[in-house]
Amino acid sequence: MRKIIFVLAVGLLAAPVWATVTLTATDLGGGVVTIDYLSDEAVLVRAFALDITVDNGTIDGIADFVVGDDNNGYGIFPANFGRYITVDPATGEVSDWGVAGYTPVADAGDPGALGGLGTSGITIEMGSLYDTKAPGNSGRLCTVTCSQSCKLSVALNATRGNVVLEDATEPTVDLTGATDVQVNVGPVVAYTGPHMDEWLAVGSPDCWAASINPRQCHGDVDGLSQGKQKYWVSTNDLDILIAAWNKPLESLSNNQICADFDNLPQGKQKYRVSTNDLDILIASWQLADSPAPDCP
């Protein structure tokens, strides 16, 4: 019991920074996102208190988390421990960790907690408790499921305790790989073109995949023909290109990134839609039932 009290209390401590903990979010497709951690310090992380938010739709599920103690993971959930878990007063042991409802997601009524599942943000709290099976310096905290395609971000929750190491110090936390992560809902689309790194860097747009739009590399933004002559590259495509012209990536909408016909950035500003893309569009401008659907 003393160990459990320590786990619940340690999240309230704040101390000098000695280590770096990196959090990453990775889209698996179908709206499922992994939340992983990596520590560069020999001292293990004791507890995480994190906010996970989406800019579109809701977070509808959480899974792939361990439950309980001594299992090489973070299965102690301080926000819900008192609500669901019973400790034997004589032995100080927990007889059953598998209680329905015992998850890392804090209740929306808890101080500083977000709205919870079914809303645009959840707060999770996860800690460790072990005799021999310590968590590793890297691993998976959980996966979450999003209702719609969106950008997902992970942030520290200071009210609930941030991230704390076992020696009670608070590390530096790198959230770069867990900020504005593009999440795709629906079938996983395979990009087969020559610039896989660029496709991933801009959020894996479906329209760059030849299986979705086999003429995109020739200037067809929307995958649709226009008029009786079946112009695949015409005014609708030009309108979208103009709307995306020389804009930074973060300001482009989902369909505007489709006007990046060469799938490459351009110039010092790394514009996704610029003169090279215009040249591609012009080369195919209003040709009857052309170009051929042969993008790689």
User: Considering only CA atoms, which of 129, 141, 134 is closest in space to residue 49?
Assistant: 141
- Residue 10's pLDDT is 42
Decide: 22 and 174 in contact? Cβ < 8 Å.
Answer: yes
Q: What is the pLDDT of residues 153-190, one digit of tens each?
A: 999 999 999 999 999 999 999 999 999 998 988 666 67
Residues of the chain with CATH 2.60.40: 2-183
Q: What band does 73 get if pLDDT is binned at 50, 70 and 90?
A: very high
- Residue 18's pLDDT is 56
What value does the mean pLDDT take over residues 231-249? Answer: 96
pTM: 0.61
What value does the mean pLDDT take over residues 12-17? Answer: 42
- Residue 1's pLDDT is 41
The torsion defined by the Cα of 78, 80, 81 and 82, in degrees rounded to 10, comes to: 120
- Residue 186's pLDDT is 67
What value does the mean pLDDT take over residues 231-259? Answer: 94
On average, the pLDDT of the chain sits at 90
- Residue 187's pLDDT is 61
What value does the mean pLDDT take over residues 15-34? Answer: 83
Q: What band does 254 get if pLDDT is binned at 50, 70 and 90?
A: confident
Q: What is the pLDDT of residues 76-98, one digit of tens each?
A: 999 999 999 999 888 888 888 88
Distances (CA, A) of 261 to 207, 212, 248: 10, 14, 16
CA 96 to CA 276: how far, in whole Å? 63
Q: Which residues contact 246 (CB under 8 A, 6 or more apart)?
A: 269, 271, 273, 274
What value does the mean pLDDT take over residues 246-272? Answer: 93
What value does the mean pLDDT take over residues 63-88? Answer: 94
pLDDT at 16 over 60: no
Per-residue buried b or exposed e for 100-126, using 16+ beta carbons within 10 Å of the residue's own CB: eebbbbbeeebeebbebeeebbbbbbb
Q: What is the pLDDT of residues 265-295, one digit of tens each?
A: 999 999 999 999 999 999 999 999 999 999 9
Class of domain 2-183: mainly beta
